Structure 1
Amino acid sequence: MTTVDFSDRAVERIAVFGALASTFHGLHLWADHWLQRPKDAVLKGLHGDELVYPSDGEPAPAVEVAREHEAPVPACAVGRRAATAHVLTYAAGQLVVTEAVARALGLRLPWRARLAGAVINFGTHWIIDRRRFLLWLAKRVNHKDSFIALATVMRKPDSAPDTSGPGTALSDLDQGLHKALGVLAAAVTARLAVPGPRHRRRGASC
């Protein structure tokens, strides 16, 4: 039987990874759904140059009477703004609870380790929630675009099928990618939080 002898650094790194991975996973749906404003959930996937009202994404030409106190703006600007607002609330919730968990467990997380994990978690979250990259990736991985077209939800009678909200294939693929990247973020953070031993150069003084 082969035994593996882990160094103290490896054990510490595995412990940090396990704590972070479970924290990121456990917090994800809370930060992604409970903290997300309904407005941001509806608007974050908007694209294009069509003029819409920023409060609800309603196309300006479709409104019979122009709104006095709201100027229409390009849909892409509304989508980017909503996605950014969502990611900021997601990041705030995750960072606060992760810090509380780290303190409770006595974990030391240097700022560069935190920053690296945050860039992976929050930067990729924005890209995925803007949908274009997710749809592009779905076409190239096991033909998941056909899964997206098949697994839709009818919210109301006589309404168009919803292709991206809860219960749809696109939503499941979205969540799966977020959680997979959370594991990567935890691994990178743990690796930077517990660096390997520094090797002394030849000829260097002790």
Structure 2
Amino acid sequence: MTAAPLPGSVVERVALFGALASAFHGAHLWADHWLQRPKDAVLKGLHGDELVYPSDGTPASEVEVPREDETPVPARVVGRRAATAHVLTYAAGQLVVTEFVARVLGLRLPWRARVAGAVINFGTHWIIDRRRFLLWLAKRVNHKDTFIAYATVMRKPGSAPDTSGPGTALYDLDQGLHKALGIVAAAVAARLAVPGSRRRRRGASC
């Protein structure tokens, strides 16, 4: 028996998936680091009710003279704001790259497909960068919490080990999960861009 040729919609969808997955992967570090403000990188993981200053996350209890031009707010609020600001720039950068790739390659990419990919990456990126879900997941997948505790970085002599920045296990797990979810986003976007039947017709040659 000869294999039936793949429908044109499937070929187009697979080609689009490959282009989007490559674009998302290639643009990830640029959007995640170059577009992220240093302030957001430091503050996006803050949690709890302790009052801190929004500009740098300094606990109000550690400041002898209250700052006149800044009002302390709960740490969780500062963390959420920083994570949202970061992910907004990330999503914007991704949309720009997606538009560029689509135009250069002449790909048919409806806005609903572009937005779907951006929303998936936006939502999952925010949750991962807030860290609690990532730490929860790490404990349940191959005991990665022990890896996180082991692979830390000493930034300065005498300082506390950095457990989440570049070079640490948590950072590597963070990046790996972002990139894996980028594949999901690319698949969903490609499916929405090129509709078609998922099932082979009955009686078709194989």
Q: TM-score range by the shorter chain?
A: over 0.9
Distance between the aligned counterparts of 2:154 and 2:29, measured in 1? 23
Q: CA deviation at 1:111?
A: 2.2
Deviates more, 1:159-168 or 1:115-124: 115-124
Residue 73 (structure 2) pairs with residue 69 (structure 1): no
Structure 2 partner of 1:92? 92
Distance between the aligned counterparts of 2:2 and 2:54, measured in 1? 62
Q: CA deviation at 1:115?
A: 2.2
Residue 185 (structure 2) pairs with residue 185 (structure 1): yes
Structure 1 partner of 2:29? 29
Distance between the aligned counterparts of 2:2 and 2:27, measured in 1? 37
Structure 2 partner of 1:201? none
**Runs ≥4 residues deviating over 3 A:** 1-4
Q: CA deviation at 1:5?
A: 2.5
Distance between the aligned counterparts of 1:195 and 1:67, measured in 2? 57
Q: Which runs of 5+ in 1 are unaligned?
A: 199-206
CA deviation profile, 1:8-51 (whole Å, cap 9, x unmatched): 11110011000000000000000000110000000000000000
Distance between the aligned counterparts of 1:150 and 1:183, measured in 2? 29
Change (3 A) 1:52 1:2: farther
Distance between the aligned counterparts of 1:186 and 1:30, measured in 2? 18
Change (3 A) 1:75 1:4: farther
Structure 1 partner of 2:120? 120
Q: Structure 2-normalised TM-score?
A: 0.93
- Report 1:31-180 matches (<5 A): 31-180=31-180
Distance between the aligned counterparts of 1:4 and 1:164, measured in 2? 50
Distance between the aligned counterparts of 1:2 and 1:66, measured in 2? 79
CA deviation profile, 1:100-151 (whole Å, cap 9, x unmatched): 1101111111222222211211110000000000000000000000000000
Distance between the aligned counterparts of 1:94 and 1:112, measured in 2? 15
Distance between the aligned counterparts of 2:183 and 2:118, measured in 1? 12
Equivalent position SS for 2:90: helix
Q: How many residues align?
A: 199
Query: Aligned-pair RMSD on alpha carbons?
Result: 1.7
Structure 2 partner of 1:204? none
Tell me the percent identity: 84
Change (3 A) 1:167 1:12: same
What is the identity, as a one-letter code, of the residue corresponding to 2:163? T
Q: Which runs of 5+ in 2 are unaligned?
A: 199-206
Q: CA deviation at 1:2?
A: 7.4
Q: CA deviation at 1:180?
A: 0.1
On the 8 A contact 2:44/2:130 being kept in 1, the answer is yes
Distance between the aligned counterparts of 1:194 and 1:170, measured in 2? 37
On the 8 A contact 2:95/2:114 being kept in 1, the answer is no
Distance between the aligned counterparts of 1:129 and 1:2, measured in 2? 49
